[in-house]
Amino acid sequence: MTTLKIAITIAGSDSSGGAGIQADIKTFQAHGVYAASAITAVTVQNTQKVYDIQEIRPNIVAGQIQCLFDDMDIHAVKIGMVSSIVLIETIADTLSANSLPPVVLDPVMISKSGYALLKEDARKALIQSLFPLADVVTPNLFEAKVLVQRDIQTLEDMKDAAKIIRDLGAKKVVVKGGHLAGEKAVDILYDGVTFQELSSERFHTPHTHGTGCTFSSAIAANLALGKSFFEAVTLAK
């Protein structure tokens, strides 16, 4: 008898439905994984712009997470937008109190339109509190640059960044290269021992809202289904 796999997304709500909690739930369901959620913030946004953000109270965020662990067998956790130190520490404390399945952390920092989604003083807390809990961290080039404090222009730069990010506490790293110049979109996967370059044809489209959320939640869904790290990322790509 097949057991239904369950994954939690811990992230912000996107009123346009293209990113955040909404994108994660759609992605989990597309993979045949039951979607549960803990909402960290309500955003006022459409596919073009983020207008405003209202954080959810930390005790409510913690309660959403804990009640799910109390009731369900959780097979994966995806963490997306967490904008403040108090929310980051609350989520870390709540998760640490439970036996954790694979955790995928998408270190969301800024929206496509330039709206800051992670407060500047919260970056250190993100690294110190959530990286050690993460089985996979999935920064894009901008986020990787912020994390490693250096420019990234080549695939070798991406590999160096992946090493540094793993040294910050993450077990495995996917540096997304979609914003790097070239005919193909190349991501760098690193598990602490082996690098893998994962390339695909570049899609020339303006409809990129929520692609990072969808990618990281697809990785989480595949991990919930028992796939290995490299297999989960390859299928997500």
DSSP per position, 159-206? HHHHHHHHHTT-SEEEEB-TTSSSSEEEEEEE-SS-EEEEEEEPP--S
Residue with tokens 């955003």: 43
Within its chain, how far is the Cα of 38 from the centroid?
14
Q: Rounded to two decimals, what is the model's pTM?
A: 0.91
| Dihedral (Cα; 27, 32, 33, 36), 10-degree rounding | 70
149 contact partners, CB below 8 Å, separation of at least 6: none
99 contact partners, CB below 8 Å, separation of at least 6: none
One-letter amino acid identity for 15? S
In angstroms, rounded to a whole number, what is the distance separating the alpha carbons of residues 166 and 143? 14
Widest pairwise Cα distance in the chain: 50
Q: Which long-range contacts (CB under 8 A, 24 or more apart) does 167-171 make?
A: 168/127, 168/131, 169/127, 169/128, 169/131, 169/132, 169/134, 170/105, 170/131, 170/134, 170/136, 170/137, 171/134, 171/135, 171/136
3-state secondary structure of 48: coil
The pLDDT of residue 1 is: 44
The pLDDT of residue 114 is: 60
The pLDDT of residue 18 is: 82
Q: Are 24 and 10 in contact (CB under 8 A)?
A: no
**Beta partners for residue 190, in sequence order:** 173, 195
Q: Are 224 and 33 in contact (CB under 8 A)?
A: yes
The pLDDT of residue 47 is: 82
Q: Are 221 and 28 in contact (CB under 8 A)?
A: yes
Active site residues: 176, 208, 210-213
Q: Each residue's pLDDT tens digit in the chain (237 positions)?
A: 468 999 999 999 999 888 899 999 999 999 999 999 999 999 998 888 888 889 999 999 999 999 999 999 999 999 999 989 999 999 999 999 999 999 999 998 876 656 567 777 888 899 999 999 999 999 999 899 989 989 999 999 999 999 999 999 999 999 988 666 666 778 999 999 999 998 866 555 555 555 778 999 999 999 999 999 999 999 987
Name all domains of the chain by residue range, CATH numbers in brackets: 6-236 (3.40.1190.20)
The pLDDT of residue 164 is: 96
